[in-house]
Amino acid sequence: MTSSRRPPARSSAPRHPNLKLPDVLDEIGMSRSAFYRMRARGKAPRCIRLPNGQIRVRRTDLDTWLEAHEVHTA
């Protein structure tokens, strides 16, 4: 009798998508050059550089960054 191997079950927890840079720029209303300047100063949301050189931003990191830059008016 041979045992059939099953791949491990995937977690049912929702995955947080990694956003492509054009999607991030569209959401925050910023040009690519302004984003890269801000990134060079360490003021941009945390980024992931893929082996192919593309940049991704985790949805949670972008949301956290946006919340940190909210302006509360009274």
Task: List, for residues 1-60, the tens digit of each pLDDT value.
Answer: 555 676 655 555 556 689 999 999 999 999 999 999 999 999 999 999 999 999 999 999
- Give the pLDDT of residue 38: 96
Please tell me the distance from the alpha carbon of residue 33 to that of residue 61, in angstroms, as a whole number.
Answer: 20
d(CA 52, CA 55): 9
Amino acid 72: pLDDT: 82
Decide if 35 contacts 44 (C-beta within 8 A). Answer: yes
Q: Where are the domains of the chain?
A: 18-68
- In this predicted structure, what is the pLDDT of residue 25? 97
